[in-house]
Chains A and B, each alone.
Chain A
Amino acid sequence: MGYLDNTTTTVDAILTKKGRELLARGENEFKITKFSLSDDEIDYTLWDVTHPDGTNSYGAAIENMPLLEAFPDENQVMRYKLVTLPKDTVKLPIIEVPQPSIIFKNAGVVQPITPTTRNGSDSKLGYTLVLHNSDAADLVIAKGGEVLTKGATTPVFLSDTERKKSITVIGNSFNLISRSTSATIVTQITIHGNETGGTLTIPVTVNANT
Chain B
Amino acid sequence: MAEIYTRFDPALDVITNQRQVVSSGMWSGGVGTLATFHTSSVQSGSSGQYYLDVYKTNPRTDNDAEIQYSIIYGHIYGSGSYGVTKNYPTKAIYKQFANLLLAPNDRLFTFAGSKDSNDIFAISIQRARLREKMDPGNWELWISGSNPVGASASGNGLIKLIDDSGATTNPSVNQGGRVFNVVSGSIATGKAVIETTAANQTGGGYGLFYPDMGIIILHPQILRNNTGPSTTVALSHFPSSSDGINDDNAGTIQKHVKAGSYFVARREEVLNTTHYFCRATNRKFNFSTNPSFFTASDGSFTNASFFRDPKTYITTVGLYNENNELLAVAKLSKPLLKSFSREAIVKVRLDF
The interface of chain A, by Cβ under 8 A from chain B, is 8-16, 18-19, 22-23, 29-45, 47, 49, 59, 62-72, 74, 77-78, 80-85, 87-94, 118-122, 125, 149-153, 193-199
Q: A67 to B331, Cβ gap below 8 A?
A: yes
Q: In chain B between 86 and 134, which residues have their CB closer than 8 angstroms to a CB of chain A?
A: none
Q: From DSSP, what is the main secondary structure of chain A's interface residues? A: loop
20 A-B pairs in the complex with CB atoms less than 8 angstroms apart: A13-B329, A13-B350, A33-B321, A36-B320, A37-B278, A37-B316, A37-B346, A39-B290, A47-B303, A70-B329, A80-B288, A80-B291, A81-B288, A84-B286, A92-B288, A122-B2, A151-B324, A153-B324, A153-B325, A196-B4
Q: Distance in Å from the Cβ of A4 to the closest Cβ of chain B?
A: 15
Roughly how many angstroms separate A44 CA and B307 CA in the complex, as a whole number? 14
Nearest CB of chain B from residue A198's CB, rounded to whole Å: 6
Assembly CA distance A145 to B319 (angstroms):
27
Docked pose: A59 CA to B309 CA in angstroms: 14
Given contacts A13-B317, A199-B289, contact A35 B335 (CB under 8 A): no
Whether B312 and A39, one on each chain, are in contact in the complex, defined by CB atoms closer than 8 angstroms, is yes
- Which residues in B have some Cβ–Cβ distance to A below 8 Å? 1-8, 14, 274, 276-278, 280, 283-294, 296, 298-303, 305, 307-308, 310-338, 340, 344-351
Chain A hits for B332, CB < 8 A = 9, 11, 67
Q: Which residue of B lies closest to A152 (CB)?
A: B324
Q: List the A side residues contacting B331 at CB < 8 Å.
A: 11, 67-70
Quick one: which of B7, B318, B351 contacts A38, CB cutoff 8 A? B318
A38 to chain B, nearest CB (A): 4
Hey, which chain A residues are within 8 Å of B348, CB to CB? 10-13, 35
* Interfacial chain B residues near A90, Cβ < 8 Å: 300, 307
A68–B288 alpha-carbon span in the complex (Å): 19
Docked CA distance A118–B2 (Å): 12
| B2 with A62: CB separation less than 8 A | no
Pick the residue among B6, B308, B349 that contacts A35 (CB under 8 A): B6
Report yes or no: A83 in contact with B287, Cβ–Cβ below 8 A: yes
Residues of A near B280 (CB, < 8 A) are 37, 82
Chain B residues with CB below 8 A from A85, complex form: 2, 286-287
Q: Are B337 and A18 in contact (CB under 8 A)?
A: no
Residues of B within 8 A of A119 (CB): 299
Assess the A37–B314 pair: CB atoms within 8 A.
yes
Looking at the assembled complex, report how far the CB atom of B346 sits from the nearest CB atom of chain A, in whole angstroms: 5
- Using known A-B contacts A9-B347, A11-B347, A195-B1, determine if residue A65 contacts B335 with beta carbons closer than 8 Å: yes
List residues of chain B with CB within 8 A of the CB of A47.
303, 305, 311
Question: Are A195 and B2 touching (Cβ within 8 A)?
Answer: yes
8 nearest interchain CB pairs? A19-B327, A152-B324, A91-B299, A151-B323, A82-B285, A13-B330, A80-B290, A153-B326
The chain A residue sitting closest to B349, CB to CB, is: A12
Residues of B within 8 A of A199 (CB): 289
Contact yes or no, B340 A34, CB < 8 A: no
Question: Do A32 and B324 touch (CB < 8 A)?
Answer: no
Partner among A59, A69, A92, A93 whose Cβ is within 8 Å of the Cβ of B311: A59
A150 CA / B338 CA spacing, docked (Å)? 30
CB distance from A136 to the nearest CB of B (A): 25
Given contacts A9-B347, A45-B302, A83-B287, A38 and B326 within 8 Å (CB-CB): no
Cβ–Cβ contact A84 & B287, under 8 A: yes
Task: Known A22-B325, A74-B329; judge A32-B319 contact (CB<8 A).
Answer: yes
Residues of chain A within 8 A (CB-CB) of B4 are 36, 81-84, 194-197
